[in-house]
Structure 1
Amino acid sequence: MHRTALGKLAIVFAALSGNGVDAFWRMNCGVIQTGRIDPIVTPGEISSHVHKIAGGYNIGFNSSYEDMTNSKCTSCEIGADKSAYWTPQLYYRHANGKFQDVPNSGMTVYYLGRGDNRDNIQPFPAGFRMLSGNALARSYDNTTMTYNNGRPVADRVSFNCLDSTTQYPETPSMIHTKCSNGLRAQIQFQSCWNGVDLYKRDNSHVAYMSTIDNGVCPPSHPVQLVHLFFEVLYGVAQIDTTDGGQFMFAYGDPTGFGFHGDFLNGWDPTVLAPALKQCANVDNAGQISACAPLAASDSSQYSYNCAERPSLINEPVVGMLDKLPGCINITPGPSDASVSDITCGPGTTSPSVNPFTLSNPSQAAVMPQVNARTNGWTYMGCANEPSGQRALAAFSYTNNGMTTAMCQAYCASKSQSLAGVEYGSECYCGNALSSGSSLGGANCTTLNSMVCAGNSTEFCGGPARLQVFGATAPSTGPSVPAVGAVAGDFVYAGCANENFTTPNRALSGASYSNNTVTNEQCGAYCSALNFQYFGTEYGTECYCGNSLKGGSTLSQTGCSMACSGSLSSNSPFAQYNNTCGGSNRLSVWKNSKYQATAVVPSVGSYVSQGCYYEASANGGSGRALTGASFSSSSMTVESCVSFCAGKNMGLAAVEYSAECYCGTVLQTGASPATDGLCNMACGGNKQEYCGGSNRLNVYKSS
């Protein structure tokens, strides 16, 4: 039995590391919370056992999708992913009965393009959550199989002892624990969804593919999801095991068969959807940098900038403990443990709980604009540290409560005109930058800078990167182009006000925001979607549209903020000093090469029915049309109608520029939307509309 299971595991995980075998991305995560928290299994209550949690800052006893997406930061490297990921804590039971936590600094999460239907992977819907594994298992179950009798479900769990002298095979339990480079626990998740339920307590809303990490989905769970896979490395070699004790998980499991993992969706849907389309079926060797939607928020300082929160529960869970936290009976098997073995009985006193405060995105750290004045000092930009010396070498000090104001005050007290913050807690002063250092010689962005140790809402440089402030005011600010100014294919239309008395933005088409925005980048983005106008705002935001909405008007005032991104010297926008709108002000440019896009009125017997919301976007669940579908970067209305007609289905719909859906009836929740909301050009014909995000142009056969 075990020999067969081990053979299958070896094949599966060899595939994970093979070059050119799979399309996937790999994301590293630090720890955001340690304790008895599990909002999936025990929402609103203290969990039965200790977990190590990674991801969104707002994870707590009863976290919702909205809570997670509103987290001010995430301990995972992709900022657009505020999801929560967790697995049980590993302990070592010493011979004297004491329990010691085994070091673990986070996990690695894989998003793999797997399955026979991998070309149609769907994003996790808002509110989706799931778990994999069975905390009560204490032996290998070779009878419970995946769909079509494909594989034992028990193969979802595996362990890899990483040792410098012995190469151990992967095992379905915690057999080998003398691992000089750590013991890696691994868990695979279900990749098939019933398309209806966001979560069910028995986890029946999801199912494994026929071979767990690949194959087909059962007919009861037809929606293909991306395949999640966790790796958690435990520092077993850092524990003194000479007393002959035993490793065991927080729920009293010394075998490892009960290892499990949980996932609570907190993705920004405008990032996950294109990431799956562009990167889940392309072999990028797992590199986030090779996937544009993900790279836009890929931070190198994620674990520092979103450090572990203090415990929510007043009980010891790390260090040397008298017992496992909770009411845990150690159950070595081979029989499964019972629920009573890991839960507290009536009358048991629970530890007290600390107040829990939710964050919001406005509490995230903000990079100052060049030439902005704060505390009487002017932000001058980012400087590199020269080789062998400091950029500012007159005075310095380090403080674990560092802020930019503290550094500025210190340098002022030393009669120095320049103050620089670096590495989160370091301050340097001088009257000039040293030879070999220059402003612009390093790149300080929100993705590679470190928050100030004493104020998490501002940045204090980064490794070998110094944010420099000057004691004198700037002589000039960013220049503003004149109306009619030309930059390549674009003509400056003016500065538009945002009118928030209506639900529309001034430009209400596609949009994105990050800390590398430039007019050139925004223009290319909107042009690719065939919008007539693009606009930049607040230095970090990009908007597209074909007309100004919401009562917005053009003027020549208020657009004077520097763009957050940097332009090359040969950019056609460089002559205008790269200004990107202002507060509620939009720098608007018109594409002189624009060709109008229109709704195709009919194709053969199929007549346009207008723009419709997806069922899941307007009170229902799943897709508006649930018949056949396909996607193509060269999508047109004609190709979609031809496809659906060939399937003998009377309804055809195009969505998100590249998707086609067919059916015989619109599902509950699929209601009419304003035509202007279906504003994305077809990938194969920029003069045709092909729906929008969660919105479809629907055609019906007469």
Structure 2
Amino acid sequence: MQLTSLAAAALLAQGATAQFGNSMLRFACSQLVVDRIDPLVNPGMKYTPHLHQLVGGNSLNVTMDPETHDLTSSTCTSCTFKEDKSNYWTAVMFYKAKNGTYKRVPQVGNGGPQGKLINKGGLDLYYIPSGKTTAFKKGFRMLAGNAANTDPNKVQKSNICHRCWTSPNENTFVGGAPCTGSDTVDIPKSKSCKMIRQTIIFPTCWDGKNLDSPDHQSHVAYSSGSGATGGGACPSTHPVKLPQIMYELMWNVTEFANSPDFPTDGSNPYVYSMNLGGPAAHGDYLFGWEGDTLQKAMDNIGRCGLNTDCPTAGLHAQTPDQYSSCTKEQQAPEEVDGWLAALPMGEMAIKA
């Protein structure tokens, strides 16, 4: 089932779980590790330029050489489905207090019309097919967004956005479909925001040849569609339709919005770990599903859906305790929790 942006917005706003839920895979991923590594953009480097939070299979390492690394060799995954050994990661959001110190913003699972997802940090994952969809091939990887960008006009709001979540918890839904309405490319800074929902939607069109490209983006392209609908028609240069991947993160800013050290000079206290704002939001993806399980899930999307077993595709859902127990030690060890004197950039983090 393909939904237009308007239809998707209406369904989400009305809480039509059955119709929209059965058109996608939606599941939780707890944090595997918060670490200064980036095996896609900076393979082999420890203490990369900025901090990431990473989820997925525990075979994650600093290098992840696509010629030799088999993601399915992971012995566990911090995502719901046991068969998904992929790795997914984003930058980390920090709060900057009036005195100049920083604290990592905590995260919660997402609620909304389709039901609560339970995760320990991490993010929520969506795989949304549209029409004939070809699952990713072994060794496939890609990047969405630009970690150095400071111009919101260079970001398509329908692909990367932030929402001011004014309700006191994630279960009371706010707004419509992802990246619509009052959502913004910039990170909201209003004290009325109890949470900030971040959405990253990946390209859905592939050139059909290259599993990666030097910039990790040229081998894929966005379709003519908009928003979280599975994508529209693909350009002739990238004719193969992929499942649409969407990351959804709930940054819980309640403790900061209510704090006396919230800046009063009008500045935005919320920044990503690059020390940049919303236009620099980005997500990395390394495909690692076992066998043809993802293809079968996309082919049987009416039977495979939300966070539950799907025997038709050979998918087995773990309990929250099971996938949340899959963690990994930092490979670039440093303290990243509590108050920090500066963002972890360059040298090891320094406690305030």
TM-score range (shorter-chain normalised) is 0.7 to 0.9
> In the alignment, what sits opposite 1:70?
73
The Cα shift of 1:177 comes to 4.6
Matched, 1:112 2:160: no
For residues 193 and 313 of structure 2, the distance between their equivalents in structure 1, rounded to whole angstroms, comes to 34
Q: Corresponding residue for 1:197?
A: 210
CA shift digits 1:554-602 (9 cap, x unpaired): xxxxxxxxxxxxxxxxxxxxxxxxxxxxxxxxxxxxxxxxxxxxxxxxx
The residue identity in structure 1 corresponding to 2:101 is: K
Matched, 1:124 2:136: yes
Q: Which amino acid aligns with 2:83?
A: A
Distance 2:97 2:191 in 1: 15
* Distance in 2 between residues matched to 1:16 and 1:122, nearest whole Å: 26
Tell me: CA distance 1:138–1:106, structure 2 relative to 1, closer, same or farther (3 Å).
same
Q: Does 1:312 align with 2:312?
A: no
Report the identity percentage.
Answer: 30
- Give the direction of change, closer, same or farther, for the CA distance of 1:58–1:16 in structure 2 (3 Å limit): farther
2:164 is aligned to 161
In terms of Rg, which structure is larger?
A: 1
Aligned partner of 1:251 in structure 2 is 274
Alpha-carbon distance change, 10 to 103 in structure 1, aligned in 2, over 3 angstroms: farther
Aligned to 1:172: 185
Aligned partners of 2:254, 2:288: CA distance in 1, in Å? 34
Distance 1:36 1:82 in 2: 20
- Specify whether residues 39 and 84 from structure 1 end up closer, same or farther in structure 2 by C-alpha distance, changes over 3 A only: same
Q: Distance in 2 between matches of 1:283 and 1:111?
A: 14
Query: Are 2:243 and 1:229 equivalent residues in the alignment?
Result: no
CA RMSD between the two structures: 2.7
User: Match for 2:260 among 242, 246, 260?
Assistant: 242
Q: Check the 8 A contact 1:27/1:109 in 2, yes or no.
A: yes
Deviation at 1:351, TM superposition (A): 5.2
Bigger RCO of structures 1 and 2 (CA < 8 A, at least 6 apart): 2
Residue aligned with 1:263, SS: strand
Separation in 1 of the partners of 2:11 and 2:232? 14
CA distance in 1, matches of 2:148, 2:60: 25
1:24 aligns with 2:24: yes
1:59 is displaced (CA, Å) by: 1.1
CA contact (8 A) 2:5 2:226 kept: no
> Per-residue displacement from partner, 1:21-70 (whole Å, max 9, x unpaired)?
47101010100010111111111113211111110111121124644210
Q: What TM-score results when the alignment is normalised by the length of structure 1?
A: 0.41
Distance 1:40-1:212 versus aligned 2 partners, 3 A rule: farther
Equivalent positions of 1:313-328 (< 5 A) are 313-327=332-346
Query: Cα distance 1:167–1:191, how it changes in 2: closer, same or farther (>3 A)?
Result: closer
Q: Is the 8 A contact 2:147 2:274 kept in 1?
A: yes
Query: For structure 1, which runs of at least 5 residues remain unmatched after alignment?
Result: 1-7, 143-151, 328-349, 353-702
Query: What CA distance in whole angstroms lies between the structure 2 residues aligned with 1:320 and 1:48?
Result: 19
Segments of structure 2 that go 5 or more residues without pairing to the other structure are 108-120, 176-181, 264-268
CA drift of 1:231 comes to 0.4
Q: 1:303 aligns with which of 292, 312, 323?
A: 323
Change over 3 Å in CA distance of 1:249–1:177 after alignment to 2: farther
Measure how far apart 1:293 and its partner are. Answer: 4.2
Alignment map for 1:560-571 (pairs within 5 Å) = none
For 2:164 and 2:38, the matched residues in 1 are separated by 27
Residue 35 of structure 1: aligned partner: 35
| 8 Å CA contact retained: 2:80, 2:307 | no
Residue 133, structure 1, aligned to residue 145, structure 2:
yes
Task: Report the count of equivalent residues.
Answer: 305
Structure 2: distance between partners of 1:134 and 1:15: 31
The secondary structure found in structure 2 opposite 1:79 is: coil
TM-score, length-scaled by structure 2? 0.79
Query: 1:176-191 to 2 correspondence within 5 Å?
Result: 176-178=189-191, 181-191=194-204
Is the 2:308–2:316 Cα contact (8 Å) retained in structure 1?
Answer: no
Change in CA separation of 1:15 and 1:225 when aligned onto 2, cut-off 3 Å: farther
Cα distance change on mapping 1:9 and 1:97 into 2, 3 Å = farther
1:141 is paired with a residue whose SS is: helix
Task: Classify 1:58/1:25 alpha carbon distance in 2 versus 1 (closer, same or farther; 3 Å).
Answer: same
Task: Report the alpha carbon displacement of residue 139 of structure 1 after superposing the two structures with TM.
Answer: 2.9
Report deviation, 1:292. Answer: 2.4
CA drift at 1:289: 2.7
| Whole-Å separation in 1 of the counterparts to 2:34 and 2:75 | 19
What CA deviation, in whole Å up to 9, does each residue of 1:473-520 have, x standing for no partner? xxxxxxxxxxxxxxxxxxxxxxxxxxxxxxxxxxxxxxxxxxxxxxxx
- Name the aligned partner's letter for residue 333 of structure 2: N
Higher-strand-fraction structure: 1
Contact 1:163/1:178, CA 8 A, preserved across alignment: no
Distance 1:44 1:16, change over 3 A: farther
- Structure 1 residues 123-156: Cα deviation after superposition (integer angstroms, max 9, x where no partner): 11010000111122223226xxxxxxxxx73431
SS in structure 2 of the partner of residue 155 of structure 1: coil
Partner of 2:82: 79
Alpha-carbon distance between aligned partners in 1 of 2:185 and 2:299, rounded to the nearest angstrom: 33
Q: Sort the Cα spacing of 1:199 and 1:212 in 2 relative to 1 into closer, same or farther, 3 A.
A: farther
Judged with a 3 Å threshold, the aligned counterparts in structure 2 of structure 1 residues 209 and 250 are, in CA distance, closer, same or farther, namely: same
Give secondary structure in 2 for the equivalent of 1:111. strand
Instruction: Please tell me whether the aligned partners of residues 195 and 223 of structure 1 are also in contact (alpha carbons under 8 angstroms).
Output: yes
Aligned to 1:277: 299
Distance 1:183 1:53, change over 3 A: same
Distance 1:50 1:294 in 2: 35
State whether structure 2 residue 313 is matched by structure 1 residue 287: no
Question: What letter is aligned with 2:261?
Answer: D
